[in-house]
Structure 1
Amino acid sequence: MSQTTSPSRRTFLASTAVAAAAVGGVPLLSACSSEGGGNRNEGTTTKKDAAKILPTYVASKVVEPDIPGENGSRPGFTGKAEPYDALPASVPEKMGRGGEIAIMSPLWGTPPKKDCAYYRAVDEAIGVKVDWQTQDGNTYGEKLGAVLASSGIPDMVVIPSWEMQGKIPSAIDSRFADLGPYLSGDEVKKYPNLAAIPTAAWQMSIFGGKLKGLPIPAGAVDIIIPYYRQDVFEDKGWEVPTSPQEFTDLAKEITAPKSKVWACEDMKWTAFNVFGVLPDKPYCWQWQGEKLVHRIETDNYLEALEWTRKLYAAGVVHPDARTGQGDAGTRFTAGQSMITNDGNAKWYGWTFEQSEQNPDFRVQGMDIFGHDGGDPQLYFANPAGIWAFINRKASEETVQECLAIANFAAAPYGTKENRLVRYGVEGTHHTLKDGVPTKTGQGVTEVQDTYFFTASAEAVAAFPDHPQVVRDWCGWQQRMGAFMKKPLLYGMQVREPNRWANLSDQFEDLENDVVRGRKKVSDVQKAVEDWRRAGGDDLRDWYRKLIEDAGESAA
């Protein structure tokens, strides 16, 4: 899934959470390693132990992409969509046995009626009736904590990574089933679409030393994109910058306050990539010689903040970005700012939105350059960030019904199952005109992201109405993927000791104050010293031991 984002770690970086929820239970993760013992409240699973748990990977051959994945990029589909009857099936026979399953999931939209035609059609195709207990995605964490603390937990519960704070991790261990007996090794071959989920996503689904989550895989190169108005750049003859200095020089040339045009929005997230800043926790550590160093202790981090601060000081950033007013994307599409950074969903979203009112509108991703104008140092994105879990008290029959739903929902793009889940019934929920599925009014109302949250296929790029977006996006990912590497502990679920879990929380607000000129870079350096004294050095020692015991990454 491609999610729209706003400038906060909650949305840009799913590994950072927003709230603690009060639920009971046994702690989440296994010890730092099975060999080393330790506190079961904290740590991760070793590669040796994970190898015994992971499902066997069997790539799907049902549909081949037009643009193969390269350097970790998403596979791309540029062709027109086929009618439903012409599509291949990835689930030739119903796997459901006629049971009824209750599923709790977030929903960003208006819930459809429980007996709507869309739900009936998908349930009939799977062979399982689903009782959807959807909750407002914006306040999902509040409801999640209450439900997991109760005795009335649904058969399946969807939990995004950004809600896994407080005692939610403990509930994952105590409240949900071990799926290893059903999916580990060759057992997964009973569910071909689940077998085709990339191994890295399954690796992220190991909680407390057991395979517990059904993942929604993310693209390895799904990082924040610096977008620019390609149509305006070409009209004005502006050259795309290839270094921080060129960016600053161009920004000054573009900015014309009297014409209500500014060069860019807040570019902090792009600055982090330009200056090679490490990702957020737990992938925020690197070796400098024999010393383990946190992202906030690096020169790269300070240099990224300083460069962004200078953009603000030069007056090239839209003034509403300084005050946090309005929407950066709206200003970008309206031509008030020429460069912004956002999640990958916006590439298609803005293009689709502007296609009728501004047919000349074109957006492009700026290739990320290094701090010296050379090659950048980038880091792969998390392999997964949302999971569905099955109630620990579920019977074997109920678990199998849940897996039947997940296997159907994880059908790859270009199959009957994927079309039904994404668009509903042809002729009722969508029509197919010139190879483009378009939702009807009933489809807009009823076809929401629900089944999708139980599991998903490998992330792809597929927009039959705008194939150039697919080509541009895949090309950008292929180029950027060539400069990516895995951070320490990549692909591992790590739970820090609770006493240090919020140690770095103050830095995001501090970063925003610094780049806007309200505080100084020296204030960050002082905060880092305070962080070390408050537990940062002890946390460093804990991570060093974790890496020694569990290994440097899951791959």
Structure 2
Amino acid sequence: MTPNAASSGPSRRSFLASSAIATAAVAGGMPLLTACGGSDSGSREGTTSGKAAAKLLPTYVASKMADPDIPSKNGAAAGYTGKVDLAALTTSVPDKLGTGAPVKIMAPFWGTPPKPGCAYYKAVDTAAGTKVTWQNQNGMTYGQKLGAVLASSSIPDMVVVPGWELNNSKIGSAVAAKCLDLGPYLAGDKVKKYPNLAAIPSDAWRMGIFGGALRGIPMPTAPASMIVPYYRKDVFEKKGYSVPKSADEFLSWAKDATSARARVYACGDISWIAGAIFSVAPNWDIDDDGKLRYSIERPEYLESLAWVRKLFDAGVVHPDDRARTGDVGQRFTAGQILVCTGDMSFWYVKAAEQAQANPEFQIDGMDLFGADGGNPTTYASAPANIWSMIHKGASQETVENALAAANFAAAPYGTKERMLVDYGVEGSHYTVKDGAPVKTDQGNSEVVNAWGMLAAPAPYVAHPDLPDVARAQVEWQQRMGAFMKKTSIYGMTIIEPSRYANLSSQLEQLQIDYVRGNKKMSDVQAFIANWKSSGGDKLRDWYKELIEKNGSGN
């Protein structure tokens, strides 16, 4: 229903576009150090899975709302390609669950927040029976604010916790210590009071277990929500370019397509897809030989870095991408680069943005390929990586109103609640043109990432104004999902011992420097050797024990 939705909510675009680390986290490209202790020991280290986790989870009750035009397959989101029939919208919760008690919610925000008490906030509060005071914080510095707030005695009733911020082990520990155990409200059949929360897949709920208790209300992610290599399909067709199908083909095409004189470069920094091309398992995984390895220990990891280095050395990467300045999306739409990477939401955002500005503009997702031209090896994204959590000190009435708000935010496609959350009030925040909702200026300024932060339904894609984009997104996910694997720690929310917190802290900068020619391969190899001797080998033993105790995620 929402052309702004990457999968299940309009906020996801803003989340993932804001940070390369965020993108990698959702794509399974880096380890997440999240708080989830074993329930038997009460420790905040480790994970809770298997039978222990099953006892903590809400009962799953599938939504019976609108059937998708493109059912989920191979881990892809469900797809909706029809127009919006406002008269046919259903109500997912006939009775208001909120009592109007005030709830203060802190969440990350990108852009200019709406004014408190704006028409959108009032409309959703009225429909949900809630009274939310939003404490919106700058998304780019949210981790700093979140850490400070959780360390203080002034914690809001509810906080949104993005997974990428949990790389800060202090935040992970604080979450386990200061956020409410939701089990008494949601475990088992208790969740049926909140039908939209009950319809969230169990895998997503499992990742909301922190410190041996269910603490996080998740925003589910489709397993095939991978980083996409986008290309200018219109330029490819005009120039007669064939879409590359191997690492060597890509480099050869990139050299032909680049013209520094014309200020056209083949690509931006596409490091985020190199791992998929060279079949680098993210994080920790047990290989075919039965040995547990971390991503950087694999030969394929060095090969993927070396390939990206070749692109930079060949001069096919835009100078601003080398310098890490400016807006990659603007370079892409301006035709200064022909290939870039981004999360799934980038697809719709750029197509909608250019629909009138440049009618000839066509964006498409390049199928991932194996380095040698064979099939790629893709890895499933975490079932959830963003949560809303309730402060332990909240009163019972506040807790119930916070859950009512989350239940409203998780309304599925085809409902009045979903329409209100995503678009606001017809006439004020949007109009309907040719069966598609179109936001007004007021809608664009008020109906932005707020309510969509609290929870989300099972992953879906719907763009009534650009149904072909929705279909292309889902079909790309289905194709790439056919090659998808799950790592040995898939679906587990894990906190590593704090003594290992800084082991990989310099890795991202080293990678950035190496591919740009500022470091040598020997520097990378030295880092890996030091990583192993400084704690990596001991951390491997810790993971072995964790997997032996909890079972493999794949």
Aligned counterparts of 1:17 and 1:72: Cα–Cα separation in 2? 20
Among candidates 227, 232, 250, match of residue 230 of structure 2: 227
Aligned counterparts of 1:197 and 1:46: Cα–Cα separation in 2? 18
Q: Deviations over 1:327-363 (max 9, x none)?
A: 2222211111211111111101111111112101101
- Residues 384-403 of structure 1: pairs in structure 2 closer than 5 A: 384-403=384-403
CA 1:48–1:19 in structure 2 vs 1: closer, same or farther (change >3 Å)?
closer
Aligned counterparts of 1:70 and 1:105: Cα–Cα separation in 2? 32
Secondary structure of the residue aligned to 1:444 is helix
| Percent of paired sites with the same residue | 53
Among candidates 21, 32, 50, match of residue 9 of structure 1: 21
Aligned counterparts of 1:122 and 1:450: Cα–Cα separation in 2? 11
- Answer yes or no: is 1:209 the counterpart of 2:209: no
Aligned counterparts of 2:453 and 2:96: Cα–Cα separation in 1? 20
**Corresponding residue number in structure 1 for 2:148:** 146
CA-based RMSD of the aligned residues comes to 2.1
Paired letter, 1:120? K
Secondary structure of the residue aligned to 1:364 is strand
**Corresponding residue number in structure 2 for 1:158:** 160
CA 1:185–1:244 in structure 2 vs 1: closer, same or farther (change >3 Å)?
same
**Corresponding residue number in structure 2 for 1:276:** 279
**Corresponding residue number in structure 2 for 1:240:** 243
**Corresponding residue number in structure 1 for 2:326:** 326
Aligned counterparts of 1:341 and 1:450: Cα–Cα separation in 2? 26
- Residues 23-62 of structure 1: pairs in structure 2 closer than 5 A: 28-31=35-38, 34=40, 37=41, 40-62=43-65
Paired letter, 1:353? E
Paired letter, 2:368? I
Check whether the contact 1:18–1:163 (CA below 8 A) recurs between aligned residues: no
Displacement of 1:117 in angstroms is: 1.7
Which segments of 5 or more consecutive residues in structure 1 lack a partner in the other structure?
A: 21-26
Secondary structure of the residue aligned to 1:266 is coil
**Corresponding residue number in structure 2 for 1:538:** 538
Aligned residues: 540
Aligned counterparts of 2:298 and 2:346: Cα–Cα separation in 1? 31
Task: Tell me whether 253-262 or 192-201 shows the greater mean CA deviation.
Answer: 253-262
Paired letter, 1:12? A
Among candidates 76, 94, 103, match of residue 101 of structure 1: 103
CA 1:123–1:74 in structure 2 vs 1: closer, same or farther (change >3 Å)?
same
**Corresponding residue number in structure 2 for 1:23:** none
Instruction: List, as ranges, runs of 4+ consecutive aligned residues in structure 1 with deviation greater than 6 Å.
Output: 15-20
Aligned counterparts of 1:544 and 1:180: Cα–Cα separation in 2? 29
**Corresponding residue number in structure 2 for 1:24:** none
Aligned counterparts of 2:306 and 2:102: Cα–Cα separation in 1? 56
Among candidates 128, 131, 137, match of residue 129 of structure 1: 131
Among candidates 139, 164, 171, match of residue 168 of structure 1: 171
Which segments of 5 or more consecutive residues in structure 2 lack a partner in the other structure?
A: 1-11
Check whether the contact 1:390–1:402 (CA below 8 A) recurs between aligned residues: yes
Paired letter, 2:248? Q
Check whether the contact 2:18–2:140 (CA below 8 A) recurs between aligned residues: no
CA 1:306–1:382 in structure 2 vs 1: closer, same or farther (change >3 Å)?
same
CA 1:351–1:28 in structure 2 vs 1: closer, same or farther (change >3 Å)?
closer
CA 1:262–1:111 in structure 2 vs 1: closer, same or farther (change >3 Å)?
closer
**Corresponding residue number in structure 2 for 1:422:** 422
CA 1:539–1:261 in structure 2 vs 1: closer, same or farther (change >3 Å)?
same
Aligned counterparts of 1:59 and 1:239: Cα–Cα separation in 2? 43
Displacement of 1:121 in angstroms is: 1.3
Secondary structure of the residue aligned to 1:356 is helix
**Corresponding residue number in structure 2 for 1:463:** 463
Check whether the contact 2:16–2:22 (CA below 8 A) recurs between aligned residues: no
Secondary structure of the residue aligned to 2:509 is helix
Paired letter, 2:252? D
Displacement of 1:404 in angstroms is: 1.1
- Residues 362-373 of structure 1: pairs in structure 2 closer than 5 A: 362-373=362-373
Displacement of 1:467 in angstroms is: 0.9
Displacement of 1:397 in angstroms is: 2.5
Secondary structure of the residue aligned to 2:540 is helix
CA 1:156–1:298 in structure 2 vs 1: closer, same or farther (change >3 Å)?
same
Among candidates 88, 91, 100, match of residue 89 of structure 1: 91
Check whether the contact 1:10–1:16 (CA below 8 A) recurs between aligned residues: no
Secondary structure of the residue aligned to 2:431 is strand
Displacement of 1:113 in angstroms is: 2.5
Aligned counterparts of 1:248 and 1:301: Cα–Cα separation in 2? 18
Scaled by the length of structure 1, the TM-score of the pair is 0.93
CA 1:196–1:19 in structure 2 vs 1: closer, same or farther (change >3 Å)?
closer
Check whether the contact 1:77–1:463 (CA below 8 A) recurs between aligned residues: yes
Displacement of 1:5 in angstroms is: 2.8
Secondary structure of the residue aligned to 1:491 is coil
Task: Tell me whether 436-445 or 477-486 shows the greater mean CA deviation.
Answer: 436-445
Displacement of 1:252 in angstroms is: 1.8
Secondary structure of the residue aligned to 1:449 is coil
Paired letter, 1:192? P
Q: Deviations over 1:345-403 (max 9, x none)?
A: 11011111111121011011111111221111110111111111112122333222211
Scaled by the length of structure 2, the TM-score of the pair is 0.93
Aligned counterparts of 2:540 and 2:235: Cα–Cα separation in 1? 47
Q: Deviations over 1:208-264 (max 9, x none)?
A: 111111111122111110111111111111111111111122112212222222211
Aligned counterparts of 1:230 and 1:320: Cα–Cα separation in 2? 22
